[in-house]
Amino acid sequence: MTSSRLIAAQILLNVVDQGRSLNDELPTRLAEVDIDQQPFVQQLVYGASRYYFALDELIGKIVDKPIKDKERLVHMILAIGIYQLWKLNVAEHAAIHETVATTVESKRQWAKGLVNASLRRFQREKEALLAECRRGDSFPGWLNKRLRQAYPEHYADICAHSNIPAPMSLRINAKRQSPKAWLQIAEQEGIQAHACEHSHVGVTLQSPAPVAMLPGFEQGDVSVQDEAAQLCAQLLPIKDGDRVLDACSAPGGKTGHLLESAQNLELLALDVSAERLHRVQENLDRIGEQAQLIAADAADVEHWWDGKAFNAILLDAPCSGTGVIRRHPDIKLLRKSADISALAKIQQNLLQKLWPTLAPGGHLLYATCSILPDENTQQIEAFVSQVSDVEVIELNLDADVASPMGVQWLPQPNGHDGFFYALLKKTDTADC
Q: Say if residue 253 carries a ligand binding annotation.
A: yes
Q: Say if residue 169 carries a ligand binding annotation.
A: no
The CA distance from 90 to 232, in Å, is: 41
Total residues found in the chain within this entry: 432
Name the CA dihedral angle for 424, 428, 429, 432, rounded to a multiple of 10 degrees: -10
The CA distance from 33 to 8, in Å, is: 10
Q: Is 133 a catalytic residue?
A: no
The CA distance from 40 to 361, in Å, is: 52
424, 391 contact by CB (below 8 A): yes
Task: Return the number of other C-beta atoms located less than 10 Å from residue 90's C-beta.
Answer: 13
Q: Say if residue 101 carries a ligand binding annotation.
A: no
Q: Say if residue 361 carries a ligand binding annotation.
A: no
Q: Say if residue 221 carries a ligand binding annotation.
A: no
CA angle 132, 136, 140 (to 5 degrees): 125
The CA distance from 321 to 141, in Å, is: 17
CA 23 from centroid of its chain's CA atoms = 11
Q: Say if residue 180 carries a ligand binding annotation.
A: no
**107 CB-near residues (< 8 Å, 6+ apart):** none
321, 369 contact by CB (below 8 A): yes
Q: Say if residue 306 carries a ligand binding annotation.
A: no
Catalytic-labelled residue, pool 133, 159, 196, 369: 369
Number of H helices, E strands in the chain: 17, 13
251, 286 contact by CB (below 8 A): no
Q: Say if residue 252 carries a ligand binding annotation.
A: yes
411, 426 contact by CB (below 8 A): no
Q: Say if residue 297 carries a ligand binding annotation.
A: yes
Q: Say if residue 319 carries a ligand binding annotation.
A: no
Handedness of CA 55, 57, 60, 66 (dihedral sign): positive
The CA distance from 244 to 347, in Å, is: 19
Report the catalytic residues. Answer: 369
Annotated binding-site residues read 248-254, 271, 297, 316
Annotated binding-site residues for S-adenosyl-L-methionine read 248-254, 271, 297, 316
